[in-house]
Structures are given as structure tokens and as C-alpha cells.
Chain A
Amino acid sequence: MSPLTRGNPGETHLMMGNEAIVRGALEAGISVAAGYPGTPSSEIIETLAKISDDIYTEWSVNEKVALEVAAAASFAGLRSLAVMKQPGVNVAADFLMHLALSGVRGGMVIVAADDPGALSSINEGETRLYAKLMEIPMLEPGNFQEAREMTCWAFELSETLNMPVLLRTVTRLSHASGRVTLGKLPIPDRKAFFRFDGDMLDPMEGPIMTPPVGIKHQSQQKKLQQAAKLFEESPFNTYEGPESPELLIITTSICDLYSKEVVALLGVKDRVGVLKLGTTWPLPAQPVLSRLATTRNVLFVEEVQPFIEEAVKVLAAGSQLDLSSLTFYGKYSRHIPMAGEMNPERVTAALSTILRLESGPVSPVSKNYPGTSLPPIPPREISFCPGCPHRASFFSINTVLQLDNRQGFTCGDIGCYSMGMLPGGFFTLKTLHSMGSGSGLASGFGKLDKFGMDQPVVAVCGDSTFFHSAMPPLVNAIHNRSAFTLVILDNSGTAMTGFQPHPGLPVDTKGNQAPPIDIERVCRAMGATTRTCDPFDLKATQKQLLEFINGKEENQGGVKVLILKQACALSPKKRHTQSFEVAVDPDRCIGEACGCNRICTRVFACPGLIWDAENNRATINDVLCAGCGVCASVCPQNAIQRKEFP
């Protein structure tokens, strides 16, 4: 049993940031939680689904729907949680703007997990600006304990204001672990009922909608003022340092820990104070202004955009402070980089420059340490796992587009298969943007024949991405007679984020039976020509794809959908199983000789293979090989042989 549900108040446990958020939500007595998987947010819904039978947990089809599902619970008087990574907030933004205006009833918290440094994302987007844009209050936990406490309090705040509350976390908090002292788990009253027959403007009993916009917007503004007032007293805003510091650091989120650690490490605790803000929108005026009055130098430490920096400057400009006596350091002064995540080194560099410290921005250890002048260490490019169906799929897509020889290209999408842009995916992807955008771009490219474009267009998307946001562009393409081939890389789960189920699978979020939605039948019903192949069967896959791409007269043009179905090698059902015993016959392997030039290791490059340069032969890495046997089909010499396991 998990301490998340069992732990008693006062106990201390080592918890991941995301687990602390889960505990906070449980302590707030939530009834409904919905989200869409995305690093670094996934563990929240995943954990809730695993540990609690009292609440309804859902992996929704996308973030907008997740927000709507959570909002419905709130409308019915229950506390609810919506969870997503930052790009998901973009997806949910349309509904969010209306929800912010209409207001909510039961406490409702949106956890948005940002990924500064794009550690597992393909952008470095910021959720905090949404708080301002949507005009809703925002909290930013700065450590593990706060992650629990703030989450719990956010529901109370939401109910006080009748507004959704944004809780912004980052990878370095969500995926890090630290000690959390637990609070009390309530026994909530979970009676859902949607009242709608009160007065139009009654937040608790009337219908819930945005009109009349003028009045609602005014009331929204009043609520924000109320929030700012509450934030003035909030214990989540703290100050540590001398009464009149030479330099005041204003920081938030995990950057607080970097700042405090570096201040201690550099021995400048008597010169530098740290104002940590936990309630970052609307910015509470008093705690900030009173601190600004005690110093002449201010450094902002935050990621990724200068959000607090701007807000504080606006606040200062409207205050009685003598601005000429204040110097602001931060992203605008370039003391803190505009892009990338924060770390102790960046804070060290900024402090060293501003305080003119002798050690300078370089740590004294590194100057004489020989480790800093090593010859280059080969980088470890990420790639598809041994036995990954995507490697085989991209091998075939690439082969077919080259054979077709009209400079066809592939529009990428979001999932493990985004790595199709890397050498391990044969550089197959030529565009890569948001969820579902591969299909949308392909729909557009497919209409450019009118302007002389005769390059074949392929789009890829995963099974989960298909439901998330590839269906509308597919409908668009079919209706508008666009022409492209959509390859659905169906590996039976949301693999990149840890095999969360999606609507195509016969199980729901909690693993109970659920009606699966058949991707191929959906596509056919839309009007696409569809086929399904096993990507491990390179020959059949390539034949079908070639037919779709430079097809025979009868199926020329239009939208074709090829479903390449093969479960992920790491999926629970496949892990630790091997279809084949794979071995290399050294007598047949010709290594680098003409006729092969080791296509298995040089091109196909599965990590389950080893290139033995000394003997000019390939071998199998017994520890890593997943036994899919695809390399045997790639080998032109029949040197790689696969034997079915009995």
C-alpha cells in the first residue's frame, strides 16, 4: 500500500513532486481527476488511478476534454483536478478561457507541468503567461512540501473565488523527490448535483456560462483583486536574508532552491536576501514592494520567461518607490539567459558578476581538475529501443519514399516516433510540431498539386495521437480531397509516457474493460482507403506503402491510411518476451564489403546489435536484443538468422 493513501498526518516520506501533488489533491478530497499523458505530468493521474478507488480518474482523449470532464465535476459541486503538460494547456486553452469567465463551483485545480530546458519536450513553452491571459490565480510550489500543501490549499482558494486555480510545476520538481510531511486525509461528502435553476448571475445555483460577458468579466476582475489580497498574507511567499540586503533575489518555483544553495555556497548570505514567491499571479503587492524598499539591487531568478520580472517592474513603476535608486538584473539585463532551464551554475554566474566575486563564474575546482579537459566523449543519441516497431516502420517509409524517387517526405508528430527525425529514425521526419499537426500539415501539402507540387506526402501519428488530435485533420483532408498517406504507428498504448491506455484499447484508465474504438474502422467510415500491416514484415509493409504512394490508377489520389500495428517492445505484454532467438552466422556476414557495408549496424543501427570492427562482423548484444528478428530481414547476406522460440 502506498503512503499516499495510508500515511498518517505528521509522517514524513520521500516523495516525487508529482506524488506530493497527488497527496495534496487527496487531502483536499477531490472526486474527479482527468488528464492526458505528457512528461513530466503523467505520474499524477497514473498514481491516482492506481491508489484510489474512491475517486473517478480518467485519461481523457486530449487535454481540452480532460479540462471539460474535470469542470463538469466542479459544476456538480465536487472538487476536481485536471492535469497536463504545458503544450496540453495550449490544447485546453479555448475552453479554459471560457471556464475562467464562467467560473466554477466545486474547487477546481489545473496542474500544468512545464518542461524548462525541453528535457522531454519539443518546445520550452511557459504556462505562467496563461494565468495572466486567462485571468485566473496561479500558484507555484518551490519544493516538495509546498507541492503538497499548495495543491491542497488551491482547492480552497478555488472555492473561495469560484474560479479555477492554476498550479504550475516544472520537470525538476515533478520528477525530483524529496521529503514531504503529510497532512490529514478527509472523508469528503461526494454528492454530485448540478444546480441550474437559480438566477443567471448566481455562481452557486444559476446556469454556468460566460454571458453576460460584461458583467462576468467585471466580476472576474473583482475575484482577481480578492485573490491578490489573499496572497498578501500567504505563507507561500517567504523571505530569507538580511533586513537590508545588498542584493535582493526574487525567485519562484524550484529556482528558490538553486538560489538559496548558491548564496550559501558562495558565502554571501550576509549580502543577499531571497524573496521566494509562491503565489505568482496576481502578484501580491505588499510583500514585493516592502522588500524592494530595503534594497538597491534586484535579481530575478526564474524560468523560462521573465514573468515575475515584468510583473514586479510594472508593480514598481506604479508604486511610490524611487526607481532611480533601483537596479534590476535578470533576463532583460542578460544576467540570466532568456532560454533554457536554470541550474546552480547559472545562478552562480549571475551572482558572481553582480557582486563582483573573485572566484568568477567558474567553480574553483574545475580550474585544475583534469576531468575538464578530456577528449570528446561520444554522445549518446537517443533512439528507438531494441525491438521497437518504429525503427522498422521508418526503415520502410524511408525505403519507399526513396524508391518512389519524387522527393516525397514525411510530416512528423508527437510520441516516441518523433525520434524519426534523428539518425536512429533515418532522418525520416521533415516536419515536427504539435500533436496532430503532422496530419494537418499533410492535409495542406496534399492540396499543393495545383501549384505544381508532385512530391508524395506522408504523415505519421501514433495510436494515442490519432484520437487526441489527428482525427479532425483527417476529416478535413478527406472532405477537401487532399491526397496523402497517413501511417498510423499503432503500438497499442501511449508508449512514450508509460503505456497509459487510450480509446483504442479495450481497457480504461483503471484497467477495467472498456469498449475499444477501432482506428481502421473509424478511418474507413470517414472515407479513407485503409490497410493494416505488421511493420516487422518489411516486405509486405513496403509493398502496401508503395502502392499507396505511387499507386495504381484505381486508388490514385485521396487519403490513404496504413496502420502499422505492432506492440511496443517495452509494453507490459511484450516486455521480457522474445519472438526469435537471433544470431549472426560469421561465415555469411561480409561486414563492410561491397554488397552490404554492414547495413544492420551502420544504417538500421538497432542497439541490440554490436559492430565488431576488429573482425569486420556484426554480432548480437544478448543483453539488449529484444528478439524481434527484423534485422534478419535487413541483412542481404542471410547472415543474421532468426529461430523461433519453441
Chain B
Amino acid sequence: MIALNHDPYNLIITGVGGQGNVISSRMIGNMLSARGFQVTIGETFGASQRGGAVMSHVRISSTTTLSPQIPEHQAHMVVSLEPMETLRVLESYGNPDVGVICNTRPTHPIGVISGRLSYPSMEEMEKTITRLSARSWFFDATAMATKIGDPIFANIIMAGALAGTGELPLDRNVFEETLKSKFPPNKVALNLEAYDKGYGMINRD
């Protein structure tokens, strides 16, 4: 089995209810489980679907079953479907060595829509996120997904981007197999397109 950069490796996928967090974390989990890793995915759903902040903890180890909650400040990578949620995750789980992949499309919370609170500017957030992480990538995955045909594909674009970083042994063939077992052929092609688009967003040097 390929060795992990860190064992356990702690990955957080975050976003807003309805953005497809759960699918994304399960796809990644399945890809790693298929390669023989011990994977635990911690998540909550229910009320969080209704526009709340959602977070999946994906924990990967070659030896033991881990708890579904990453201890504070122990994340190795944060994949975020919404920029402000990136900050929220870093606040509790970040550390100087963490990596971040961030979709730059904001989803305003009710407090912001109603004007009680203000949403930070993307510039400001990008600066803070860069300061709080060892490496970071920013792009508008929602715009890319809309071009593919549905903003929901942003979650798969982000998964592709994660693969692009080379941080985890994610195998495109396994992704394709997993897709085929879950989706009809036309959906498989679109998901693969999304995955590849995301993969291409990462500058590997």
C-alpha cells in the first residue's frame, strides 16, 4: 500500500447544505477505501441541509479505525465549497501546515441577506486564508460547474482538484468505477468532465 504523507491523514470537506458535500466525501472515501485504506467519514446531516454550514471529516489511515471527529487544529487539507466556510473550518481545525482548496463563489447566510451581518470581501478572505495555510488554491468552481450544466458539479470539481494536488493516492480509474456503480452513463461522463476540470485547476510544480 502507498504510504500516506501523514497517518492518519485528516481531510475536511466543507460547504453549505445542498452543495453536495456528502456525495463528495463519500466518493473520495470510496476511492481510498478501495485502495485498502481504513477510512472514517464523520458527518452530520438533517437540519444542516437547510442552508446551514456542513462539514465532512474524512480520516484516512493504513492501520486503525479513527473516530468520526478530527481533533481541533489537526486538519491536513481543507476542501471548501464556500469561501466563508473555509475560514470557519480553519478557525477550529487549521494549523500552519494545512492546505486549502477553495471555491470562491459565496453563498450568503440569512443574516447577510437580511442585512444584519456583512459578508467579508473575497480579497480579504483570500488574504486571510493564504496567511492561515501552507498552500492554497482558489477558483470559482460554481461557474465552472454551471458551464458543465449544473452548479452541483462544483463538488466533483473540488474532488478532482484534491486529486490534482497529489496529496492523497486518488485514482481516476477508481473514481470512474465508483461513478459507474452509482450513476447512469450520461451522468458518468459529466462527472468525469467535472473531475478533470478540477484536476486541471491545480498547478503542480
Contact = CB atoms under 8 A, between A and B. Distances in A.
Interface of A: 12-14, 39-40, 119-120, 143-145, 171-173, 175-179, 254, 257-258, 261-262, 265, 343-345, 348, 363, 365-366, 369-372, 374, 377-385, 416, 419, 423-424, 496-497, 598, 601-603, 605-607, 609-611, 613, 621, 623-624
A178 B18 CA distance: 23
A607 B113 contact: yes
Contacts of B50: 382-385, 416, 419
Contact of B114 (A177, A365, A384, A423): A423
Contacts of A345: 71-72
B184 interface: no
Nearest to A343: B69
Contacts of B104: none
B200 interface: no
Given A363-B72, A377-B88, A172 B42 contact: yes
A265 B71 contact: yes
Given A179-B38, A385-B50, A379 B115 contact: no
10 contacts: A144-B65, A178-B65, A257-B65, A344-B69, A363-B72, A365-B73, A365-B74, A366-B72, A371-B95, A605-B110
B35 to A, nearest CB: 11
Nearest to A122: B47
Given A14-B30, A40-B46, A179-B33, A258 B67 contact: yes
Contacts of B69: 172, 258, 343-344
Contact of A424 (B71, B91, B110): B110
Given A261-B67, A610-B108, A171 B113 contact: no
Given A119-B44, A377-B84, A378-B84, A623 B113 contact: no
B21 to A, nearest CB: 12
A14 B29 CA distance: 7
B73 A385 contact: no
B16 A380 contact: yes
Given A378-B118, A623-B142, A177 B44 contact: no
B128 A178 contact: no
Interface string B57-78: 0000000011111111110000
A257 B112 CA distance: 38
Interface string B66-106: 11111111100000000011011011001110000000010
Contact of A611 (B30, B33, B115): B115
Given A369-B94, A371-B90, A381 B68 contact: no
A120 to B, nearest CB: 3
Contacts of A265: 71
Contacts of A370: 131-132
Nearest to B89: A371
Contacts of B17: 382
A338 B70 CA distance: 22
Contacts of A606: 113
Contacts of B151: 623
Contact of A175 (B38, B43, B115): B43
A201 B105 CA distance: 68
B51 A607 contact: yes
B119 interface: yes
Contacts of B66: 257, 261
A385 B107 CA distance: 13
Given A178-B41, A363-B73, A423-B110, A382 B67 contact: no
B52 interface: yes
A371 B89 CA distance: 9
Contacts of B96: 365, 369
Contacts of B105: 623
Contacts of B95: 365, 369, 371
Contacts of B131: 370
Given A371-B90, A496-B46, A624-B107, A344 B113 contact: no
B147 to A, nearest CB: 13
Contacts of A179: 33, 38-39, 65
Contact of B110 (A173, A257, A343, A607): A607
Given A14-B33, A607-B108, A172 B68 contact: yes
B84 A120 contact: no
**Cβ-closest 9 pairs across A and B:** A120-B46, A39-B46, A257-B67, A176-B68, A344-B71, A365-B73, A14-B33, A382-B52, A378-B117
B53 A380 contact: yes
Contacts of B112: 378, 611
B26 interface: yes
Contacts of A379: 109, 111, 117
B24 interface: no
Nearest to A177: B41
Contact of B40 (A171, A176, A602, A611): A176
Contacts of B108: 607, 610-611, 621
B84 A613 contact: no
B166 to A, nearest CB: 22
Contacts of A171: 44
B94 A371 contact: yes
A120 B91 CA distance: 23
Nearest to B44: A119
A243 B110 CA distance: 55
Interface in B111-169: 111-115, 117-119, 128, 131-132, 142, 146, 151
Contacts of A254: 67-68
Contacts of B90: 371, 374
Given A177-B39, A344-B72, A380-B109, A602 B114 contact: yes
Contact of A120 (B38, B47, B51, B72): B47
Contact of A378 (B42, B47, B52, B109): B109
Contacts of A598: 115
Contacts of A378: 84, 109, 111-112, 117-119
A249 B105 CA distance: 46
Nearest to B43: A175
A216 B38 CA distance: 47
B45 interface: yes
A119 B46 CA distance: 8
Contacts of A385: 18, 50-51
Given A39-B46, A380-B51, A601-B113, 20 more contacts: A14-B26, A171-B44, A172-B42, A177-B29, A178-B39, A179-B38, A257-B40, A365-B74, A378-B111, A378-B117, A379-B109, A380-B84, A381-B111, A382-B52, A385-B51, A419-B47, A602-B114, A602-B115, A610-B108, A611-B108
A373 to B, nearest CB: 9
Nearest to B54: A380
B44 A377 contact: no
Contacts of B68: 172-173, 176, 178, 254, 257
Contacts of A377: 84, 87-88, 91
B33 to A, nearest CB: 4
A454 B91 CA distance: 50
Contacts of A610: 108, 113
B51 A382 contact: yes
B115 A623 contact: no
Contacts of B71: 261-262, 265, 343-345, 348, 363
Nearest to B98: A371
Contacts of B18: 385
Contacts of B87: 374, 377
Nearest to A624: B107
A381 B112 CA distance: 10
- Scoring A39, A175, A177, A265 by chain B CB atoms within 10 A of each residue's CB, the highest score goes to A177
Contact of B113 (A119, A416, A609): A609
Nearest to B46: A120
